[in-house]
Structures are given as structure tokens and as C-alpha cells.
Amino acid sequence: MGNNTSINPHLLTHKIITEPFKNTEINENTMNNSRSAPNITDQLAVTDCTFLTVNEVKSRIDCLHIQFKPKNEIEFKYVSKVLIDWLNEVGIKSINSEPNLKYFDHGCLLKANDQTNAACGAIKWNENYDVIQVELPGKGCSYINTSDAYFSVIKELEQTTEVFIKRLDIAVDTYEQKHGLRFIQQSYSKGYYSAKTGKIPLRENYSSPTGKSICIGSRHSHKKFIGYEKGKQLKFPEGSIEFLYWFRHEVRFKGSKSHCIPIDALFNPDDFFVGAYPKANRRILKSATPRVIKREVIKLVDKCLKKGLSYANHQVGKTIFCAVERGMEDKVIVQTIMRPGKKDNLCYPSFVSKADKENYMFE
């Protein structure tokens, strides 16, 4: 990715893009200093990037698999460089590890360009320059949803290159008990997830230690609905608001020749979320509050931090107590035992600034 990144061996041994991955002008460390400017507004009342805030978007893109189909090698190199620069800008870099290459000749994994080192997806391509596929799961999309660059580069590339969305997940979160599992069960029974004609979509219920979920629609369908207990999936403490009420409603679209997903879905996700199952989803989105990725991430890291502090109390609490009794100052004790670490779940991503953490008080 950046100037300090070693070159993937495949880029040397095959006829494939070399310059976009090797010579991007954005340094890998740049985003650590510029990702998130101080925000003095109420973080509980706003969304994350300017586009989502201005347009009062309540849903979020939670997964995107998108293909670009250049006409020749020159266009292939141009598109790949634009994509790599865009990913650098939002805080994502490529690494010299191959993803699952089914249907493709080459590829590299994507990771967050910060302390979290979080897996953010993959880029895959064919050696005959006819396709580039970018795959961004929820973690990768969180960096885009919080960046003012958003998905604008895709709209720009669409003007000159064929673009095709293979998969798109749009998620809406609620904290109202009335919009949980029972709401979905009742809506399904009333036919709110059924089309005017044709078969009633398949419904499957799942239960695990990380919560319950409901899936509506077959895996072969061009759309599918999934509702699940998000707070339980993320293992928030029992009795917490997240554990009791955080519920995720998600529509997953699968692109095909007969069911093309327009690029506009990236910029009007609320409309497409409701449009997939109007009778049911209109009731959900109407009362949902805008998702705040920063808040979700901070709460999740804070949860791990609380667990770590509890562990520290058990392991070194007595030692610290003795140090205090001995007359050591708190500052000296902290400096003595404090050290940086590389544990992913105790790192805040680069899009969370000091001001963001101050606005979300540690409870």
C-alpha cells in the first residue's frame, strides 16, 4: 500500500498491476493523524460522516462486494490505483496475504491502517485485466461510514467503467423492545415479508449462546432479511441496555443480471431497506434512531476495557494496594505498570478521535 509496504510476490511474477499497489502517494501513517477532527456536537444525536449526517440517513451499509470491469489494461491500472488511494484515504491498507481466490487469479487482504489491525476485507483480480472485485465486510464498511470520502469514488468510477454490485447488506438498529424478534414473527405471520404474488418466503429460526435470530428468504433469493440480537452477539454484560434491547434488522441483496443493484443504493440506503419489505420495514425505520458507528465501536472497546480492569483488579490489585500503603504516588504506580499493547480489542480505530472518546463518557 504505502511507500513502506513490501511488494506482494504475485505482483512481480505475474502480468498484473504493480504500480497501484506499490506507488500510491498516500503514506500509511497519514490517516492516524487526520482521520477524525474534534467534534463539539452531541455525538448521541448525529451520524458519522457528513453525507450521512446532512441527509439524516438512519441505516448503514454493512457489507459490500462490488466489481469493476475495465475495458483494457490501461483502464485496469487506473481503476485499481483510484481504489487503492480511496481505501488509503478512509484508513484501510492491503497486506501481502492472499484471500480465498475462488473465481479469481490474484488478490490481497485488506486491514485497518491503525493499531487495531482489523480485517477489513479483500481485493481480488484476474490477470487478463477484465475484473477487479472489492469485498468490504462490516468492519471495512465502518471506516467508510465514518469518512467524508464515503462511497463517492464509486459514483465517479461508474461514469467511465462498468460497475456491478454483487452483494449489499443494509442494516438498521433499534433499541425498542417492540421491534425485536416478536415483531418479526408477527409481521411474517401477517404476510408483511411476502410479495403480492408467488410463494411465501422461507423462514428459519436460530438460537445460540450469542442470541436468537430469524432469517426470511432462501439463500438463492435476490434478497433476504435477517434479524438478530446484536447486543447479545457482541457479548455485552447481561442486564445492560445493549444486551436487553440492541436489535439489528438487516436486508441482504444479491446482485444478478435479472436483479441489478443500482449504485444509488449506497447513497439512499434507507429507501432500499424499506423498499425490500415495505410493509414490515417501514415500521422499523420510522422509529429507528440513526446508527452512530463511533458510539458502537467505543462502547464495544469500553466493554473489553472494563473486563480487562476487572482482571487487573484480581491479578495486581493487592500489589497496587501495598504500593499505595508504602507511600508511592498514583502517577508513579501507573507509569510503573503501564505499557502499550497490541491486543486488537483494546485499541480504538483511527476514526475515533480524542474528542469522540471525551464525548462518550466511560461508564
Q: pLDDT, tens digit, for every residue of 240-285?
A: 889 999 999 999 999 998 899 999 999 999 999 999 999 999 999 9
Does 283 lie in the same domain as 299? no
Tell me how many degrees the CA angle 267-270-276 measures, rounded to the nearest 5: 110
Are 318 and 193 contained in the same domain? no
Where a domain ends, among 239, 272, 287? 287
Q: Are residues 277 and 306 in the same domain?
A: no
77-133 residue pLDDT tens: 999 999 999 999 999 999 999 999 999 999 999 999 998 899 999 999 999 999 999
| 92 within domain boundaries | yes
* pLDDT value at residue 286: 81
**Amino acid at site 83:** L
Report the pLDDT value the prediction gives residue 344, as an integer from 0 to 100: 66
Confidence of residue 355 (pLDDT cuts 50, 70, 90): confident
Asked whether residue 71 falls in the same domain as residue 163, the answer is: yes
Does residue 90 share a domain with residue 105?
Answer: yes
The Cα 324–Cα 342 span in angstroms is: 28
| Pair (203, 322) in one structural domain | no
Predicted pLDDT at 162: 96
Name the domain count of the chain.
2
Average pLDDT, integer, range 336-359: 77
| pLDDT at residue 353 tops 90 | no
pLDDT at res. 61:
97
Judged by DSSP in three states, 104 sits in: coil
Q: Is position 4 within any domain? A: no
Q: Flag whether 323 is in a domain.
A: yes
Whether residues 234 and 251 fall in one domain: yes
Q: Which of 235, 254, 287 is where one domain is finished? A: 287
List the 60-69 sheet strands across, edge first.
92-95, 106-112, 119-125, 132-136, 60-69, 162-174, 247-254, 223-228, 211-216, 203-208
Q: Which residues of 250-259 are buried (b: 16+ CB within 10 A; e: fewer)?
A: bbbbbbeeee
Listed residues 264, 287, 310: the one ending a domain: 287
What's the mean per-residue pLDDT of the chain? 84
CA–CA separation, 200 and 197 (whole Å): 9
Averaged pLDDT for residues 234-243: 90
Within this chain, do residues 155 and 178 fall inside the same structural domain, yes or no?
Answer: yes
* Per-residue pLDDT tens over the stretch 7-50: 333 333 333 333 434 333 333 333 333 344 433 334 444 568 99
Decide: residue 275, CB within 10 A, 0-12 exposed, 13-18 middle, 19+ buried.
middle
Range of the domain at 92: 9-287
Q: Tell me whether residue 225 is exposed, middle or buried, using C-beta atoms within 10 angstroms of its C-beta: 0 to 12, 13 to 18, 19 or more.
A: buried
**Confidence (pTM):** 0.79
